[in-house]
Structure 1
Amino acid sequence: MPKAKQSSAALEKASSMFRKSSNTGAHDIILGRDVLTAARIVPNPATKLIHWDELTCPWQPNDYFMKSNWTSHVHTAMEMLAAEIEFDSFSSQMGSKEILSSKYDQVDTTEAAQQQTHLPQRQRNDLADVLKHFTLLFSGKLGCYPHYKVHLELDENAKPFRCREYPVPYAHRKVFKEELERLVDIGVLSRAAASKYLSPTFIVPKKDGRVRWVSDFRKLNSMITRKVYNLPRIQDILKRRSHYKYFTKLDISMQYYTFELDEASKELCTIATPFGNFRYNRLPMGIKQSPDVAQQIMEDLLRDCPEVEVYIDDIGIFSNSWQEHIASLHKILKILQDSNFTVNPLKCEWAVQETDWLGYWLTPTGIKPWKKKINALLALQRPKSVSELRSFIGAVTFYRDMFPRRSHLLAPLTAQVGKRQLDWTDECEKSFRAIKALLAKEAFLRYPDHNKPFHIYTDASDRQLGSVILQEGKPVAFFSRKLNSAQRNYTTGEKELLSIVETLKEYRTMLLGCRELHVYTDHKNLTFNNLQTQRVLRWRLFLEEYGPIFHYIKGNDNSAADAFSRLSFSERQSTQSNSHGFQGLPEKPSDVLHPSVTITEDISDFSVEADFVVEGYYSMVTDDPDLLDCFVHLPAQQDVPFLMDYQTIAEAQARDAALTAEARSQPLKIQKKLLAPNTEVFCHAQVIGGPWKIYLPSSLLQDTVRWYHLALGHCGISRLADTLRMHFYHPQLQQTCEIEVRKCDPCQRLKNVGRGHGETASREVSLLPWQDVAVDLIGPWTISIGNKNLTFSALTIIDMVTNLVEVVRIDNKTAAHVAMHFENSWLSKYPRPLNVIHDQGGEFIGEDFQHRLRIHGIHSRPITAKNPQANSVCERMHQAIGNTLRVLSTLEPPRGHTSAKQLVDTAIADAVYAARCIYNSALKTTPGGIAFGRDMILNIPLVTDLQLLQKRRQTLIDQRLIEANTKRFSYDYAIGDKVLKLVYKPGKLEPRAIGPFEVIRVHQNGTLSIQLSTGVIERINVRRVKPYHD
Structure 2
Amino acid sequence: MISPSSIPTGAVPFKLKQPLRLMTGGGSIELKYGVKMKVIRFPELSPTRAFTDEVIAIVNKHTGTHDVILGRDFLGAAGIVPNPATSLIQWDDLNCPWLPHDHFHGHNWTSAVRTAMEALAADPYLEYDSFSVQKGSKEILSSKYDQVSTRDAAQQQTHLPQRQRDQLADVLQHFTTLFSGKLGCYPHHKVHLELSENAKPFRCREYPIPHAHREVFKEELERLVKIGVLSRTTASKFLSPTFIVPKKDGRVRWVSDFRKLNSMITRKVYNLPRIQDILKRRSHYRYFTKLDISMQYYTFELDEASKDLCTIATPFGNFRYNRLPMGIKQSPDVAQQIMEDVLRDCPEVEVYIDDIGVFSNTWEEHLASLRKVLKILQDNNFTVNPLKCEWAVQETDWLGYWLTPTGIKPWKKKIDALLALQRPQSVTELRSFIGAVTFYRDMFPRRSHLLSPLTAQVGKRKLNWNDECEKSFKEIKSLLAKEAFLRYPDHNKPFHIYTDASDRQLGSVILQEGKPVAFFSRKLNSAQRNYTTGEKELLSIVETLKEYRTMLFGCRELHVYTDHKNLTFHNLQTQRVLRWRLFLEEYGPIFHYIKGNENTAADAFSRLTFSERQSDHPHGFKGPPEKPSDVLHPSFTEDTSDSPVEGYYSMVTDDPDLCDCFVHLPDQQDVPFQLDYKTIAEAQSRDAALQAEAQSQPMRIQKKLLAPGTEVFCHAQTIGGPWKIYLPTSLLRDTVRWYHLALGHCGISRLADTLRMHFHHPRLQQTCENEVSTCDPCQRLKNVGRGHGETASREASLLPWQDVAVDLIGPWTISVGNKKHTFSALTIIDMVTNLVEVIRIENKSAAHVAMHFENHWLSKYPRPLNVIHDQGGEFIGDDFQHRLRVHGINSKPITAKNPQANSVCERMHQAIGNTLRVLTTLQPPRGHSTAKQLVDTAIADTVYATRCTYSSVLKTTPGGLAFGRDMILNIPLITDLQQLQKRRQALIDQRLIAANTKRFSYDYAIGDKVLKLVYNPGKLEPRAKGPYSITRVHANGTLSIQLAPGVIERINMRRVKPYHE
Judge same fold: TM > 0.5, yes or no.
yes
Q: Which residue does 1:732 correspond to in 2?
A: 760
Q: CA deviation at 1:343?
A: 1.0
Match of residue 519 from structure 1:
560
Residues 867, 891 of structure 2: 8 Å contact kept: no
Match of 1:199, SS?
A: strand
Aligned pairs for 1:439-450 (under 5 A) are 439-450=480-491
2:420 to 360, 366, 379: 379
| 8 A contact 2:867–2:889 mirrored in 1 | no
Quote the Cα distance in structure 1 between the aligned partners of 2:1002 and 2:119. Answer: 68
- Give the structure 2 partner of residue 702 of structure 1: 729
SS of corresponding position for 1:117? coil
The reply to whether residue 413 of structure 1 matches residue 444 of structure 2 is: no
2:307 aligned with 1:266, yes or no? yes
Which protein is bigger by CA-based radius of gyration? 1
Distance in 1 between the 2:657 and 2:385 partners? 36
Residue 1017 of structure 2 is aligned to residue 968 of structure 1: no
Question: What's 1:42 paired with?
Answer: 65
| 2:700–2:715 Cα contact (<8 Å) kept | no
State the Cα distance separating 1:885 from its structure 2 match: 14
1:634 pairs, out of 665, 680, 699, with 665
Corresponding residue of 1:620? 651
Q: Secondary structure at 1:414's aligned position in 2? A: helix
Give the Å deviation of 1:329: 1.0
After TM superposition, the structure 1 = structure 2 runs for residues 193-342 of structure 1, keeping only pairs within 5 Å, are 193-342=234-383
Q: 1:623 to 1:164 in 2, by over 3 A?
A: same
Structure 1 residues 537-576: aligned runs within 5 Å: 537-571=578-612
1:92-144 CA-partner distances (Å, limit 9, x unpaired): 36863211111112222222222222222332222222122222212211111
Q: 2 CA distance for matches of 1:723 and 1:170? A: 73
Structure 1 CA distance for aligned equivalents of residues 406 and 866 of structure 2: 73
Please say if 1:390 is aligned against 2:431.
yes
Q: Which amino acid aligns with 2:652?
A: V
1:485 matches 2:485: no
Choose the corresponding residue for 1:585, options 619, 634, 655.
634
Q: What TM-score results when the alignment is normalised by the length of structure 1?
A: 0.64
Distance 1:725 1:87, change over 3 A: closer
Gaps of 5+ in 2: 1-21, 29-55, 69-99, 106-113, 615-621, 717-721, 799-864, 895-900, 905-952, 955-973, 1013-1024, 1031-1055
Counterpart of 2:915 in structure 1 is none
Q: In structure 2, do the counterparts of structure 1 residues 652 and 349 end up closer, same or farther at CA, with 3 Å as the change threshold?
A: same
Work out the CA distance in 1 between the residues paired with 2:902 and 2:199: 58
Distance of 1:548 and 1:58 partners within structure 2: 33
Structure 1: 5+ residue stretches without partners: 9-32, 46-56, 63-73, 589-598, 687-692, 770-876, 895-902, 926-940, 972-978, 994-1023
Q: What residue is the counterpart of 1:467 in the other structure? A: 508
- Residues in 2 aligned to 1:216 and 1:761: alpha-carbon distance in whole angstroms: 57
In structure 2, relative to structure 1, the CA distance for the partners of 1:612 and 1:38 (3 Å cut) is: farther
Question: Which residue in the other structure is 1:182 paired with?
Answer: 223
Contact 2:140–2:251 (8 Å) recurs in 1: yes
Tell me, yes or no, if structure 1 residue 349 matches structure 2 residue 390: yes
Q: Aligned equivalents of 1:746 and 1:429: distance in 2?
A: 32
Partner of 2:141: 100
User: Structure 1 residues 244 and 742, CA, compared in 2 at 3 Å: closer, same or farther?
Assistant: same
Cα distance in 1 between the residues matched to 2:141 and 2:683: 81
Per the alignment, in what secondary structure is the counterpart of residue 377 of structure 1? Answer: helix
Alpha-carbon deviations, 1:442-484, whole Å to 9, x = none? 1111111011111112222222222221111111111122221
CA-to-aligned-CA distance 1:269-299 (integer Å, 9 cap, x gap)? 2222222222212111111111111111110
Aligned to 1:152, what secondary structure does the other structure show? Answer: coil
Change (3 A) 1:78 1:293: same
- Please tell me whether the aligned partners of residues 701 and 715 of structure 2 are also in contact (alpha carbons under 8 angstroms): no
Q: Cα 1:880–1:395, aligned 2, differ >3 Å: closer, same or farther? A: farther
Identity %: 62
Asked if the contact 2:482–2:662 (Cα under 8 Å) also holds between the matched residues in 1, the reply is yes
CA contact under 8 A between 1:381 and 1:570: conserved in structure 2?
yes
**Is the 8 Å Cα contact of residues 256 and 282 (structure 1) preserved in structure 2?**
yes
Separation (CA, whole Å) in 2 of partners of 1:406 and 1:919? 48
1:384 Cα deviation after fit: 3.5
- Deviation, 1:970, is 11
Contact 1:446 / 1:610 at 8 angstroms: preserved in 2?
Answer: no
Letter in 2 for 1:448: P
CA distance in 1 between partners of 2:876 and 2:975 (Å): 32
Letter in 1 for 2:728: L
Report the equivalent of 2:444.
403
Q: 2:181 aligns with which of 99, 120, 140?
A: 140
Equivalences for 1:446-845 in 2 at 5 Å?
446-571=487-612, 582=631, 584-586=633-635, 599=638, 609=641, 611-615=643-647, 617-637=648-668, 647-648=678-679, 698=726, 701-709=728-736, 730-732=758-760, 735-740=762-767
Deviation sequence 1:739-786 (CA, Å, 0-9, x none): 4456789959999699999998999x999x9xxxxxxxxxxxxxxxxx
Secondary structure at the aligned position of 1:343 is classed as coil
C-alpha distance in 2 between matches for 1:912 and 1:281 = 64
Post-superposition CA distance 1:415-439 (Å, at most 9, x none): 3334444443433332222222211
Task: Pick closer, same or farther for the CA change 1:221–1:134 going to 2, 3 Å.
Answer: same
In the alignment, the residues of structure 2 paired with residue 969 and residue 141 of structure 1 have an alpha-carbon distance, to the nearest angstrom, of: 81
Cα pair distance change 1:710/1:254, threshold 3 Å: same
The structure-2 alpha-carbon separation of the partners of 1:85 and 1:235, relative to structure 1 and needing over 3 Å to count, comes to closer
Between the aligned partners of 2:752 and 2:260, the Cα distance in structure 1 is: 57
Distance in 2 (CA, whole Å) between partners of 1:496 and 1:259 is: 35
* Letter paired with 1:632: V
| Alignment root-mean-square deviation, CA | 5.7
Structure showing greater relative contact order (alpha-carbon pairs closer than 8 Å, 6 or more residues apart):
2
8 Å CA contact 1:980, 1:1027 repeated in 2: no
Query: What's the CA shift for 1:205?
Result: 0.8
The alpha-carbon distance between structure 1 residues 247 and 963, as it changes in their structure 2 partners (threshold 3 A), is same
User: CA–CA distance in 2 between the matches of 1:499 and 1:117?
Assistant: 37
Q: 1:683 to 1:738 in 2, by over 3 A?
A: closer
**What CA distance in whole angstroms lies between the structure 2 residues aligned with 1:284 and 1:350?**
29
Aligned residue type for 2:999:
K
Q: Distance in 2 between matches of 1:205 and 1:759?
A: 63
1:249 touches 1:316 (CA, 8 Å); kept in 2? yes
TM-score w.r.t. length of structure 2: 0.62
Distance 1:381 1:711, change over 3 A: farther
Question: Residues 420 and 610 from structure 1, CA distance in 2 versus in 1: closer, same or farther, beyond 3 angstroms?
Answer: farther
Change (3 A) 1:177 1:360: same
Q: Aligned partners of 1:330 and 1:110: how far apart in 2? A: 15
Task: Rate the CA distance shift 1:166–1:97 in 2: closer, same or farther, 3 A.
Answer: same
CA distance in 1, matches of 2:682, 2:66: 86
Q: Following the alignment from structure 2 to structure 1, what is the Cα–Cα distance between the partners of residues 786 and 192?
A: 67
The answer as to 2:200 corresponding to 1:159 is: yes
Residue 174 of structure 2 aligns to a residue whose secondary structure is: coil
For 1:949-960, list aligned pairs within 5 A.
960=992
**CA distance change for structure 1 residues 696 and 265 in 2, over 3 Å: closer, same or farther?**
same
Q: What is the distance in 1 between the residues matched to 2:339 and 2:712?
A: 64
